[in-house]
Chains A and B, each alone.
Chain A
């Protein structure tokens, strides 16, 4: 599964009522997917569990879109492999 699919799966897990079609790389977490600050913590916990990594709070600050999440996760996965 590529990282986009994994992020999408995590979003569907924490927002089970969401229309999965809306989850695109360009989608804004807040405006398009209605992910609020509580949901963002849930999403982080879900991704951390699924991918066995840590996403520190301070690195989540600039996150706006699904693509931003993907980039952060990719960077963390790379760090883990290194």
Chain B
């Protein structure tokens, strides 16, 4: 019998708060975390807005020396991971340190550290480059630093699937626990790519909104949407077998009951317009689950012209006419697109929806798009007693990744 996999803790560092609770309260209140870029001088950029994490102090999680040699995405990952362990009241000691694994993905890695050192290399030569550039740049530095900070000695891995990263990290961690590769996993995603090269690159690819009003730019499913707003942060969940959670009397927040992943095999940045492979991913994730129990879909909902239509088509393909009865929302309207962290935060939000019985809104949905005609919970949070949720993530390169998260019940 495969193991049942439950969520017993989570942590997050987001544009709307330095922990899950603050982030959640702001999401429910419809607050936007998007503002003018402060992390670098964007005067000469055509894109000057982003969803930045504000007032984050890495020293409170890593001491001053540790923080100096950790890229910002790793700092976020360590903070969110330590929060998740604390939230789950998990004690890591000699009895369990090999039973816990870490899988924290990053879509981009330590781009900011790499960019700084490329500048040192070009201006001052190879013998001035920091010996820390490689560890700071590599995506797996995040899980490695979590291992070092906590004494966790199980498998420690990263994963990268563009904007699906956070969902895939949780999905693979779920599978590892389900099939006995680990008893507990710290899993999620982290990215900190509000950097000049990344903003310029995403902008040149036509992915970013050119709307100059920070609070209005991210408008998933709205007819006037014109791209996503780049965000940053980390979100991490502590997953464990139901048996382990019960044995240590852990408070169970939710259960992961399905994961599906497919590829479009189509284009390096565009999603396939018909949403066929995305629909297939949802169907795989829903295998064995009664579809009429789905009470909420946390959409990928990037606010790009293409994603929001193809995602809507995928949902309709799976649910037919009942698609119109399922509340769907995109928190990217408020936290922007946190890239590799997005899916992980959205999974945390699904747990909050289940437990707090309220659905966060899709902000800025004012002008209906005839091709996006489902119930996207526009602008105002909605009370709803939800049992089973779906979280969709899709990424550059055609990744389609879907988690199904349910309220925990004994049977």
A residues at B contact (CB < 8 Å): 14-18, 37-38, 41-42, 45
Contact = CB atoms under 8 A, between A and B. Distances in A.
B55 interface: no
B128 interface: yes
Contacts of A15: 65
A77 to B, nearest CB: 20
What 6 A-B pairs come out closest when comparing CB atoms? A17-B65, A16-B64, A17-B64, A17-B63, A41-B131, A38-B131
A39 to B, nearest CB: 8
A32 to B, nearest CB: 15
A16 B68 contact: yes
B63 A45 contact: no
Contacts of A41: 130-131
A56 to B, nearest CB: 10
A17 B130 contact: no
A41 B117 CA distance: 15
Given A14-B68, A38-B135, A45-B130, 11 more contacts: A15-B65, A16-B67, A17-B63, A17-B64, A17-B67, A37-B131, A38-B131, A38-B132, A41-B131, A42-B130, A45-B128
A16 B65 CA distance: 5
A38 B135 CA distance: 10
Interface of B: 59, 63-69, 128, 130-132, 135
Contacts of B132: 38, 42
A18 B131 contact: no
A11 B333 CA distance: 45
A14 B132 CA distance: 11
A19 to B, nearest CB: 11
Nearest to A37: B131
A37 to B, nearest CB: 8
A50 to B, nearest CB: 13
Nearest to B120: A45
A18 B130 contact: no
Contacts of A42: 130-132
A45 B132 CA distance: 12
A29 B408 CA distance: 53
B174 to A, nearest CB: 35
Contacts of A16: 64-65, 67-68
Nearest to A48: B128
A38 B141 CA distance: 15
B59 to A, nearest CB: 8
Nearest to A13: B68
Nearest to B132: A38
B141 to A, nearest CB: 13
Contacts of A38: 69, 131-132, 135
A49 to B, nearest CB: 8
A17 B128 CA distance: 23
B75 to A, nearest CB: 14
Contacts of B66: 17
B318 to A, nearest CB: 50
